[in-house]
Amino acid sequence: MLRVSVLKKRDGFTLQAQLEAPTPGVVALFGRSGCGKTTLVNLICGLLRPDEGRIQLDDTVLADTRAGISVPVERRRIGYVFQDARLFPHFSVLGNLRYGLKRSGKEANDRSGHASFDAVVALLGLSDLLDRRPHQLSGGERQRVGLGRALLSRPRLLLLDEPLASLDVARRQEVLPYLEALRDHLEIPMVYVSHQFEEVLRLATHVVLMEAGRVVTHGSLGEVSLRPELRAIVGQDAVGSVLDAVVTRVEPARGMADVQLGKGSLYVSLVGVPVGARVRVQLLARDIILATQKPRGLSVRNELRGVITKVSADGADGVLVEVDIGGATLLSHITQEAVRALHLGAGVEVWALAKAVSTHGHVFRG
Amino acid sequence: MNPLLSSAELDALRLSLEVAGRAVVFSLPFAVLAAWILTRVRFPGRSLLDAFVHLPLVLPPVAVGYVLLLVFGLNGGIGGWLHHRFGIQLAFTTSGAALATAVMGFPLMVRAIRIALENVDLGLEAAARTLGAGAWDRFFSITLPLMLPGILAGAVTAFAAGLGEFGAVITFAANIPGETRTLPLALYTAIQSPGGDAVATRLAILSLILGLLGLLAAELLARRVRRLLGR
């Protein structure tokens, strides 16, 4: 468990954050640029000192202003992947990777659960890059080396500060699978800073939502996906419930699959995943249609039966309806006019409809 | 006898190289320290220290030599103590010539090293910290190698300038053949002596060749280091 409770004032900006995050797992610090995410990770790793507060990782107190404790950065054993990679220009890739490894100490090397040098190199696909110099690498390669360098210092926690932000969209898609592999194959807890919800969706198990120097809300990704505070950040069109599901049937030729979620089943576009795999599905509220009777003669492939649990105003003319489909909650964005005409309200039984093509699954083994 | 240079001329050449070399080697660690303090440490007397370091650049070299004589001469505070305690005499010796040369070249060296240090990305040092490197470790594994081009530039400049240092050397260490008579002092002596024109010309040409070689070597070195750092 990572427990943080800190106050930091800096250049007219105040960060006041409390959070508890389970370890291992991937905690996403999500919020707009300038909301204090980087300040928070710098406090966790010790590059900044809190004015007041306490930071504890598992059973180790890293900082406690009242007790006068502040473990120096170099002894915290917290890996840091920087937005700009910060590879050492006077070392080769191999030299960069070895830098942290050499300084990780015997005690750290004896601990189980850490991947070997060869395993990290293989996992991040670095074997062809070892002799190169940092200036000979592409942006994506640089981030992978930075990731490997941090991992090889045998950290107890890995901080990733927007590692994809300096990359273009294509490069991002190139690096994301490596981050997913890391999450799935290594037992290292991670704090992932991002202002891109797609990255959070693909990587995080736990989300901490930040706004103007404060933690607005935190919880599992599924929980946070339903919160109105998230809506304020990602915007109405990106609102949707995130659900954990299990693959029950695959159609590799069509790139589609059936997944079980709660008591219902969904037909979604999903590639390269075997039956039984755990996946994550995001159903955007704007894509969900509600019907008060079982519809007939529609092209829509997904019909989930459920009960309305909440109806709340959203925007000028919009309404956000929460539907419990038996162990999972869907969000549907519809008009006030539709709510009136169909007499929708808490307790009403409905069918939630979603087009298969607009429903994507993300593989998630976490 | 050497067909090109007389033994006195060879002595002057050897002395110049020795004095400039010793001056650079001796003052380099102090120059790095001074550059470090002036760049990285914030303290009240910083501007004063900065001005003090740069004094030899604006003072007449003879004045610097005279101050050295007052402080490091046999009757000076530090000079007397060194002589009494360790039997070390600086004034009127080769070591003294090296000290005078070091003091004169010091600001040149600090300037170059400081610029290099200011260009070292603090983010890289922070990254090294997160990887478990302590303060000294960081300095020797990251900061110092990244400053190396500046340190080399500073050292080469100070060495080249040291080869020609005149005023401070002749004032503090005098003009003793084989002891403190470096190239410029030999050149001066030749000009002063009747019929010394030929010797003076040869020494002037020698100085020119030496300077050219130094500049070429500096450029070559800088290019290699830059390639090593991938810039």
Instruction: Write down the domain spans for chain A.
Output: 2-234, 240-363
CB distance A7 to A51 below 8 Å = yes
Q: How far is the C-alpha of B34 from the C-alpha of B40, rounded, in Å? A: 10
Cβ <8 Å between B132 and A74: yes
What DSSP element (H or E) covers A123?
Answer: helix A117-123
The position carrying tokens 């003669």 is A297
CA-angle at A74, arms to A69 and A79, nearest 5° = 110
Which CATH architecture group holds B7-228?
A: Orthogonal Bundle (1.10)
Number of neighbours of residue A322 by Cβ within 10 angstroms: 19
Q: Give per-residue pLDDT as tens, A285-317.
A: 888 889 888 888 888 888 888 899 988 887 777
Residues of chain B neighbouring A44 (CB-CB closer than 8 A): none
Q: Which of B130, B134, B230 sits opposite A45 (nearest CB)?
A: B130
d(CA B226, CA B231): 5
What residues are paired with B33 via a beta bridge? none
CA distances from A46 to A61, A69, A214 (A): 12, 11, 19
pTM listed for this prediction:
0.84
Query: Measured between beta carbons, which residues in chain B are less than 8 angstroms from residue A78?
Result: 130
Closest CA to B211 of B20, B28, B8: B20
- In this prediction the ipTM stands at 0.83
Interface test with B, best of A75, A99, A145, A160 (most B CBs within 10 A): A99
Contact A24, A187 (CB under 8 A): yes
Angle between helical axes of B197-228 and B7-40 (0-180°, round to 10): 40
The residue type at A99: Y
**Residue A144, pLDDT score:** 93
DSSP B75: T
Tell me what pLDDT residue A71 has: 93
pLDDT at A246: 87
Closest-CA distance, B21 to chain A, in angstroms, reads 27
Residue B2: predicted pLDDT: 52
Minimum Cα–Cα distance from A82: chain B residue: B127
Measured distance CA(A269)–CA(A254) in Å, rounded: 8
Q: Which two tokens stand for residue A92?
A: 């080769």
Q: Hey, do A2-234 and A240-363 end up sharing a CATH topology, with the first three levels equal?
A: no
**CATH code given to domain A2-234:** 3.40.50.300
CATH 2.40.50.100 fits A240-363, yes or no: yes
Sign of CA dihedral A267, A270, A275, A278: negative
Name the helix (H) or strand (E) containing B96.
helix B94-118
Cβ separation of B133 and A99 shorter than 8 Å?
Answer: yes
Phi then psi for residue A348, to 5 deg, are -75, 135
pLDDT at position A29, please? 93
Contact with chain A for residue B194, Cβ under 8 A: no
A99 and B128 within 8 Å at the Cβ level: the answer is yes
B133 in contact with A, Cβ within 8 Å: yes
Do residue B145 and residue A90 have CB atoms under 8 angstroms apart? yes
E strand or H helix at B213, and its extent? helix B197-228
Q: Which residues contact B115 (CB under 8 A, 6 or more apart)?
A: B150
Is residue A39 within 8 A of residue A53, CB to CB? The reply is no
Of A107-111, A219-223, B142-146, B211-215, give the lowest mean pLDDT range: A107-111
Q: Which residue has the tokens 């981050």?
A: A179
**pLDDT above 90 (res B140):** yes
* Separation CA A174–CA A181 (nearest Å): 12
Q: Where are the domains of chain B?
A: 7-228
Cβ–Cβ contacts within 10 Å for residue B93, how many?
17
Calculate the average pLDDT of chain B.
90
Query: Across the interface, which of A79, A103, A134 has its CB nearest the CB of B230?
Result: A134
Check pLDDT > 50 for residue B1.
Answer: no
Interface residues of A toward B, Cβ cutoff 8 Å, are 45, 47, 72-80, 82, 84, 86, 88-90, 99-100, 103-105, 133-136, 149-150, 153
Output the six-digit token pair for B127: 């990254």
Which pLDDT score, from 0 to 100, does residue B111 have? 92
What percentage of residues in chain A have a pLDDT greater than 90? 33
Classify residue B58 by burial, with Cβ atoms within 10 Å: 0-12, 13-18, 19+.
exposed
CB atoms within 10 A of CB A56: 16
- Can you give the pLDDT at residue A95? 95
Task: Using CB atoms, pick whichever of B131, B146, B229 lies closest to residue A103.
Answer: B131
Phi, psi angles (nearest 5°) of residue A49: -110, 135
Beta-carbon contacts of residue A155 (< 8 Å; ≥ 6 apart): A77, A78, A79, A188
Give pLDDT < 50 ranges for chain A: 366
Span B90-119, mean pLDDT? 93
Q: What confidence score (pLDDT) does residue A239 get? A: 82
Residues of B in contact with A158 (CB under 8 A): none
Quick one: pLDDT at residue A233? Answer: 83
Per-residue pLDDT, averaged over B126-138, amounts to: 94
